[in-house]
Amino acid sequence: LLYKPIDRVTRSTLVLHDLLKHTPADHPDYPLLQDALRISQNFLSSINEDIDPRRTAVTTPKGEVSPWT
C-alpha cells in the first residue's frame, strides 16, 4: 500500500519515455515532455537514494540470523 504512489510515478515515467520516443523533435510539446521526464526521473532517483541506506541497514550479513525470523 505504501508503494502505490511511487508505483504510479514509475508508470508515468515509463509512459513519458515512450511518448517522447514517438514525438517528433520539432513538435512544440517535445521540450515539455523532456522536462517532465527529467523531473520524474530525478524524483525516482531521490527516492532510491533515500531507500538504499535503509535497505542495507535492515539486511543481515551472510551467516547471521535475523532477529525477525
Cα–Cα distance between 8 and 10 in angstroms, integer?
Answer: 5
pLDDT at 65 > cutoff 70: no
pLDDT tens column, 2-61: 667 778 888 999 999 999 999 999 999 999 999 999 999 999 898 877 766 555 555 555
Q: Residues with Cβ < 8 Å from 34, sequence gap 6 or more?
A: 20
- DSSP per-residue codes, 12-62: HHHHHHHHHHTS-TTSTTHHHHHHHHHHHHHHHHHHHHHHHHHHHHHSPPT
Q: How much is the pTM?
A: 0.65
